[in-house]
Chain A
Amino acid sequence: MKQLVLQLTGEGGLLAGVPYPLAAALAMLVFGAIVVFVFVLPVAGVTSWLERRVWARIQSRVGPNRVGPQGFLQWLADGIKNMLKEDIIPTAADRILFSIAPYLVVIGFVATFAVIPFSSALVIADLNIGILYITAVTGLVVVGVLMAGWASNNKWSLLGGIRSAAQIVSYEIPAALSIFPIVLLTGTLSMQGIIQAQGWAPWNWFLFHSPFTFTAFFIFFVAALAEGNRTPFDLPEAESELVAGFCTEYSGMRYLLFFLAEWGNLYVIGAIVTTLFLGGWQVPHVTDNPFVLAVLQFGVFFVKSYFWVFIAMWVRATLPRVRVDQLMSLCWLYMVPIAIVNLVGTAIWMTVVPAGLDRVVQIAMTLAGAAVIVGFFGRVRFHLRRAKLRDIDYYYNPII
């Protein structure tokens, strides 16, 4: 990016004469805007469509399949519909807070894209405090949600907002604590730095680095789900309890923004997990062509992060919702202590375990992970057998 800016500000460039810092800021803004409009919004939209399809298949349904091929454009139709709808602000609501709350939520999630490394070159800003920046910026979401809950002047909304605040604030801690082992291992907070410390092969990922990072991964993923208000932690929305939680009173565009943030957040969760634990954009060395490499890295990063989006959808289709006190006890009695143990364990691991053993453990853990997956498919097969399906009941095609 730096070279690009230098080129532009240089002799005969588009921005000739503009001072370098200004030009760099401008370039970042433009790139950021492109990322938001070309990548973030469609990804959030497509995620909403995909979630409904995945959900539907798990529930023996079909899901949206009418708008566009296989309903692929459903998100567009829903978006346009919501934008055209009347934006009702209740008379008893606090107008200003009510209006700006959704934007805060959206800002909180869009801002995280600034540091997400899509490839070794494609990153808006490779901050040296990248991961810290993400934890900080997602804090805006809680402000927005709480504001929405309060300003709606509705008791359900208020309950939802307060639940959300308690939940997000609590789960920031295990999330941050399970990031620290990775920071310890790499010695950097930069997202690119963390990825560069890993390799393309699974045994070079931090996921399989040691039992501690393995646990840290799960704690981080669960905490991230909780921060993103996803099942089993969708208490702020909790349809069957709080009607629609903090967005009960919202309609039209503003309502859409909350959901945009929710689905967009899903991708952010996937991207962070991929960066921290799954080797990010790391690909085997196949080419020196920077363009091909960027595409390849982007593809790998996207697939990896979208896999976790899929997992989150699948989890949502499986699990019930925890109660608010169980949410807290899960966080403070289980996840925080385990995360601290992980942190200390990783520190000890780094000093005690010799380099040779390190590699053995990594390979063993990768094999163990593969064994778990094989075992999982064994269970799947068992369930299919037990259901006594006729041949006609089997259907592998994702398209229907």
Chain B
Amino acid sequence: MGYFRNIKETVATIFEGMSVTFSHFMRRPYTVQYPDRVPIRIQDTLPFRYRGILEVDLEICTGCLACERACPIDCIVIDAVKDKDTRQMMLNRFDIDIAKCMYCGLCSEPCPTGSIHHTSEFEGADYSLESMLRRFVKTPVVAYKPKKGPETDPEIAPILDRGMAYLTDFAAGGEE
């Protein structure tokens, strides 16, 4: 009697499947209508650890090159030289090639001040490859020199606080 069992099973399972699909008429679609029909910007809904496009706070960059060394694909190029006259570390070049970057987060982990960090920005589409190369140093700047005590400069202190907060939250696993 496999013949009639087949018919019965076909009808029963299709009935069941149709009831499942019908129940979805009463469920809310879960589509996020990116980019224009969202209640808040998607960037603001992303979790803190989200690894978006990299950004550098030059004010607190020490020029230690830890990020450049950590980068597995060499998308970070830093040119930091010690000025002979002033004995200060000068940052001549800090380039990140966003087109190469694979957003692994390995660079922001060893950063001592949290200067290089991921933002929640992810809309990186552009018309040319050149514009994907983010040049952070326009004119050579003096690298940040960590102080023994707490930071006193009112301009740098908030940035450093943010950087350190980022470090403790982002790389909470602890680093060497």
Contact = CB atoms under 8 A, between A and B. Distances in A.
Judge A-B direct contact (beta carbons within 8 Å). yes
Interface of A: 56-62, 314-315, 317-319, 334, 376, 379-384, 387, 389, 392-396, 398, 400
Given A58-B25, A383-B23, A394-B28, A376 B33 contact: no
B18 A58 contact: no
A314 to B, nearest CB: 6
Interface of B: 3, 6-7, 14-31, 33
Nearest to B14: A319
A380 B28 contact: no
Contacts of B6: 334
Interface of A is mostly: helix
Contact of B29 (A334, A382, A395): A395
Given A314-B21, A318-B21, A376 B26 contact: no
Contact of A318 (B18, B25, B28): B18
Contacts, number: 72
A57 B15 contact: no
A241 B23 CA distance: 29
Contacts of A396: 25-26
Given A314-B22, A318-B14, A384-B23, A61 B31 contact: yes
A392 B28 contact: yes
Given A318-B17, A319-B14, A387 B31 contact: no
B30 A60 contact: yes
Contacts of A314: 18, 21-22
A376 B25 CA distance: 14
Contacts of B15: 376, 379
B33 A62 contact: yes
B7 A319 contact: no
A380 B29 contact: no
A56 B31 CA distance: 10
Contact of A395 (B18, B20, B21, B26): B26
A256 B31 CA distance: 28
Contacts of A381: 23
Interface of B is mostly: helix
B27 A376 contact: no
Contacts of B22: 58, 314, 376, 380
Nearest to A384: B23
B113 to A, nearest CB: 42
Given A318-B14, A334-B7, A376-B15, A384 B21 contact: no
27 contacts: A56-B29, A58-B21, A58-B24, A59-B24, A60-B27, A60-B29, A60-B31, A61-B29, A61-B30, A61-B31, A62-B29, A314-B18, A314-B21, A319-B17, A334-B3, A376-B19, A376-B22, A379-B16, A379-B19, A380-B23, A387-B23, A389-B27, A393-B27, A394-B26, A394-B28, A395-B26, A396-B26
Given A61-B30, A384-B23, 13 more contacts: A58-B25, A59-B24, A60-B24, A60-B28, A60-B30, A61-B31, A376-B22, A379-B16, A387-B27, A393-B28, A395-B28, A395-B29, A396-B25
Contacts of A380: 19, 22-23, 26
B20 A383 contact: yes
Given A334-B7, A379-B15, A317 B29 contact: no
Contacts of B30: 60-61
Given A62-B33, A319-B14, A334-B7, A383 B19 contact: yes
A57 B25 CA distance: 6
Contacts of A59: 24
A315 B18 CA distance: 7
Identify which of A56, A60, A383, A387 gathers the most chain B CB atoms within 10 Å of its CB.
A383
B26 A384 contact: yes
Contacts of A393: 27-28
